């Protein structure tokens, strides 16, 4: 029996509708959640991501400050801008679209953001809170994956979850979150140094691909009945497409959908959840400001 498709769009819509309702309550009190989005340079993928985020903010009744800077913007200039936004009481969240130009130190920029406005969940304080299980902003994509599992009532306690990829944005935080007591999975993290990746993957009850390599996970690497979450978004050339490319994940979808019990499509799976969790973090930041947290 073919796998059940995990409809990230539908689940993300529920989260965004909830954020919109919470926004209405804040508007009554004279507060409009606002996200400042900083884009340095003109990377086409980054522009596309920023546009989608700002559209989602508008649909939820939130405000956005769209700040576009030239590629040659200095690190000092960017740090100065972040400092101003940190001090602005009308800005509840700050998002610096990554990647940044090579002459700018990403770690320094992320660390400069006020943790109370770190809606991406990348600041060292946010990461520390996540690891310790303390309240704070969770990184959007890993949090979105957990919500998908929860919404579909997929059993996680005692399940063997295999995460392929160890990035600071997805792999590492996701592995940490999966071990939380309320999730309670046993986690294996695979990476470029992993021997016999296929054997590790075949042991997974929940297989999460986040390596950024198209087609890395083939059907023979999927345990029958496993839940497959494909975080990868890769552009591959496609002369028949109007854009000249198409988006694919890290998983061979066509082959794996006949082996797995659940599987996320690309696009339409994890991607919409990332934006939904960002919207949720922004409204949460505004609520915290109101409460004086």
Q: Catalytic one among 97, 118, 230, 280?
A: 97
- 280 within 8 A of 23, measured Cβ to Cβ: no
30 assigned binding-site residue:
no
As a whole number of angstroms, the distance between CA 130 and CA 137 comes to 8
Q: Which helix (H) or strand (E) holds 161?
A: strand 160-164
Active site residue 97: yes
162 assigned binding-site residue:
no
165 assigned binding-site residue:
yes
Q: Catalytic one among 118, 120, 250, 252?
A: 120
233 assigned binding-site residue:
yes
For strands 63-69 and 160-164, give the pairing.
Answer: unpaired
Which residues on neighbouring strands pair with residue 207, listed in sequence order?
Answer: 162, 228
Summarize the annotated binding site as residue ranges: 165-167, 233
Summarize the annotated binding site for NADP(+) as residue ranges: 165-167, 233
Residue numbers annotated as active site: 53, 97, 120
């Amino acid at each position: 029996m073919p796998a059940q498709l995990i409809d990230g769009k539908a689940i993300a819509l529920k989260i965004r509708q909830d954020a919109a309702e919470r926004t209405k309550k804040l508007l009554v009190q004279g507060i409009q959640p606002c996200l400042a989005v900083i884009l340095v340079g003109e990377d086409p993928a980054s522009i596309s991501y920023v546009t989608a985020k700002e559209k989602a903010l508008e649909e939820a009744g939130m405000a956005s400050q769209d700040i576009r800077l030239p590629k040659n913007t200095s690190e000092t200039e960017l740090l100065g801008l972040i400092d101003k936004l940190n001090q602005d009481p009308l800005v509840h969240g700050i998002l610096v679209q990554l990647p940044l130009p090579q002459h700018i130190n990403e770690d320094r920029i992320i660390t400069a953001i006020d943790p109370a406005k770190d809606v991406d969940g990348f600041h060292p304080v946010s990461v520390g809170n996540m690891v310790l299980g303390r309240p704070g902003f969770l990184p959007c994509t890993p949090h979105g994956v957990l919500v998908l599992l929860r919404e579909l009532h997929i059993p996680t306690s005692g399940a063997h979850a295999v995460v392929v990829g160890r990035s600071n944005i997805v792999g590492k935080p996701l592995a940490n979150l999966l071990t939380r007591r309320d999730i309670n999975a046993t986690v294996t993290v695979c990476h470029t140094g992993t021997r016999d990746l296929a054997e590790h993957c075949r042991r997974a009850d929940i297989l999460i691909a986040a390596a950024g390599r198209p087609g890395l996970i083939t059907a023979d690497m999927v345990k029958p009945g496993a839940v497959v979450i494909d975080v990868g978004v890769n552009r591959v050339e496609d002369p028949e497409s109007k854009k000249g490319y198409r988006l694919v994940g890290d998983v061979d979808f066509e082959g794996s959908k006949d082996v797995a019990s659940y599987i996320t499509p690309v696009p339409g799976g994890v991607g919409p959840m990332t934006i939904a969790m960002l919207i949720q973090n922004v409204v949460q930041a505004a609520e915290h400001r109101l409460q004086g947290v």
